[in-house]
Amino acid sequence: MDLDTFRGSQSPLTVEGAQRPQASRLLWLVKWLLALPHYIVLAFLAFFGMFAWLWALIGILLTGRYPRVPFNYLVGLMRWGWRLSYYLYNVGATDAYPPFTLADVPSHPARLDVRYPEKLSRGLVLVKWWLLAIPHYIIVAVLFGFTRPHSDTEGQLATDTNWPGLVPILVLIALIALAVTGTYPQQVYRVVMGFNRWQLRVTAYTLLMTDQYPPFRLDQGAYEPDGPRLTQLPAGWDDWPGDEPAPPPPPKA
């Protein structure tokens, strides 16, 4: 199934993972080291992402439309970040090394896309990325952790990690269970996928990609609740209960 098919989904953002985690018992202990090249490249790309976001803001203010170049670039950054998060400790559900590309990779177990908005509000663009998103920022901080800047004994600015986040704690529990039993716990996977989907919806909203306010709703599981399935289960595997395929879209007239 190609991207053009699932862009008909009601949600402007589609986030998916594989139907079941496929991770080895102990590789997660060194994934942080294996991912170092990604940290370097993404830091470089994120720097230019700030200019792409500013370009988009000005473009929406002037025309009510999201310029295509920054839109495609920022969606690509989100895809790259999601693949890395799925590989590392926001999910930790695959040993498939993330590819170095902004493009969609159908063969990778983690996939993401955002439907291009044909028209956006010029007024909302000034407030949605900070004022309107404040409730979600608080929730995401609880889910994924936060730090607080302070001054050390010499008056220098420093940071403390006040809360590591609920998601890293759940993923750590799942990875310990994986190491002991060889199986990633199903319910933890479903919940963690829902939390990541929540965060990415907020990200798309604050990157100005949609005027649709992120719902205060935990959509658990590997697939969007209102869209067709992208990532397919390997041959011979069965669905987990609750992960049955979504019904196909009605045929076009």
- For 69-96, give the DSSP string: HHHHHHHHHHHHHHHHHHHTTSS--B-S
**DSSP symbols for 179-209:** HHHSS--HHHHHHHHHHHHHHHHHHHHHTTS
Q: What pLDDT is attached to residue 151?
A: 58
Q: Across the strands, what pairs with 247?
A: none
pLDDT mean over 104-117: 94
What is the percent of the chain where pLDDT is above 90? Answer: 74
Q: How confident is the model at residue 228 (pLDDT cuts 50, 70, 90)?
A: low
Selected residue with higher pLDDT from 244 and 142: 142
Query: Can you tell me the distance from the alpha carbon of 57 to that of 93, in angstroms, rounded to the nearest whole number?
Result: 35
Task: Confirm whether pTM is higher than 0.95.
Answer: no
Separation between Cα atoms, residue 71 and residue 114, nearest integer Å: 9
The mean predicted confidence, pLDDT, of the chain is: 87
User: For residue 201, what pLDDT is reported?
Assistant: 97
pLDDT the model gives residue 5: 39
Q: With bands split at pLDDT 50, 70 and 90, how would you rate the model's confidence at 237?
A: very low
Q: What is the pLDDT of residue 148?
A: 73
3-class SS of residue 141? helix
The arithmetic mean of pLDDT across residues 115-131, rounded, is 96
Helices (H), the chain: 3-6, 31-34, 36-63, 68-87, 134-144, 166-181, 186-206
Which distant-in-sequence residues (6+ apart) come within 8 Å of 198 by Cβ? 136, 139, 140, 143, 214, 218, 219
